[in-house]
Amino acid sequence: MAATEFSQEQLDEIYAFAVDLGRRAGQLLLESVEKRLDGGSQAIEEKDSAVDIVTQTDEDVEAFIKASIQDRYPSHKFIGEETYAKGQSREYLIDEQPTWCIDPLDGTVNFTHIFPMFCVSIGFIVNHRPVIGVIYAPFQDQLFSSCINRGAWLNEKRRLPLIHKPSIPPMPPTAPGKCILSCEWGKDRRDIPDGNMYRKIESFLNLAAETGSRGGKGGMVHGVRSLGSATLDLAYTAMGSFDIWWEGGCWEWDVAAGIAILLEAGGLVTTANPPEDPDTAPIEDVKLGSRLYLGIRPAGPSDTETGRQSQERTVREVWKRVRQLDFARPGA
């Protein structure tokens, strides 16, 4: 178990540090937005494009986070989106060492358009298991955080998932019916017959269409949501707002913090790609670097099932309706 290398006291201290770091990094993102809005002495010169500003903010915030972590925990490994993306390798680099896996700015397109669904994402991983997660969306001042054994929280005061009294509801008996599906169109828009884009859309359609249609695959989800931020998709799944998050193509820094929070809230995360026999295949913990994720919200028991059973039933029903995606990579 991940936490065995650290005492709870040590983890609590790291958690407090991560929450503070997330808030400060988010504040930098917000200041960058406000610079774009307010003009005056901080006005952007016209020669600077919005894209340059984002790149600069992205790099500045990552440098700030990295320096803060290396100052406080010099022995820990650090993987950030910006430093990683500049290298040549696409290998999965996380091993059993304590590792910080961070995205200084998730939802970059949203950030450039000042759509509030952007955030900083800070995950702390031990033995491949994200044990601490901090996600801060500064424009709407929503902080999602968790530490193993300490629960998951919204703004450090409301326990996640939000619907927890008198008890967390089980997944609906008709799931994916009555569920909110969270999914993203992503960046792979190549017009390749049976390629990732078409497989994604076919999967969305199966989950959305009226019950039993499309050769029995129609899932009649309650709603389909796309926010443009895998990190916030996970945060809202931990909150209980989204029931199912199905995604391929994002990276470990997009999901490390969100997986920590979703797991601590009581959710389940496994692979997006359906196995050969979705009815009986084992439901394994997700591989962090797999780029293929299926998250299910926290669920409580019903008269006939444990919460976990209702989640696993939902995983299998999703698997029956989705296509395999191709996001293979070395090392994962």
Binding-site annotation: residue ranges: 81, 103, 105-106, 254
9 phi and psi angles, rounded to 5 deg: -65, -40
Residue 106, judged by CB atoms within 10 A of its CB (0-12, 13-18, 19+), counts as: buried
CA 217-221-227 angle, to 5 degrees, is: 120
Q: How far is the CB of 164 from a second copy (least distance, A)?
A: 8
Q: Letter for the amino acid at 172?
A: P
Q: How far is the CB of 243 from a second copy (least distance, A)?
A: 7
Q: Which of 20, 222, 306, 329 binds a second copy (CB under 8 A)?
A: 222
What residues between 113 and 132 interact with a second copy by CB under 8 A? 113-116
- The footprint of a second copy on this chain (CB under 8 A) covers a number of residues equal to 54
Least Cα distance to 104 among 28, 14, 11, 49 occurs for 28
Residue 35 vs 129, nearer CB to a second copy: 35
Q: Do the Cβ atoms of 82 and 59 come closer than 8 Å?
A: yes
Q: Binding site residues for Mg(2+), as ranges?
A: 81, 103, 105-106, 254
If you search the block for the tokens 């199966």, which residue do you land on?
206
What residues between 140 and 199 interact with a second copy by CB under 8 A? 140, 142, 158, 162-166, 177-178, 180, 185, 189-191, 197
- What's the CA gap between 179 and 53, in Å, rounded? 38
Residue 149 vs 167, nearer CB to a second copy: 167
- Tokens standing for 111? 């950030």
Q: Letter for the amino acid at 200?
A: K
Residue 31 vs 285, nearer CB to a second copy: 31
Q: Under the criterion CB under 8 A, does residue 55 sit at the interface with a second copy?
A: no
Three-state DSSP class for residue 258? helix
Q: How far is the CB of 272 from a second copy (least distance, A)?
A: 18
Please give the residue ranges that form the binding site for a second copy (CB under 8 A).
36-39, 43, 46, 50-51, 109-110, 113-116, 140, 142, 158, 162-166, 177-178, 180, 185, 189-191, 197, 201, 204-205, 208-211, 213-214, 218, 220, 222-228, 236, 239-243
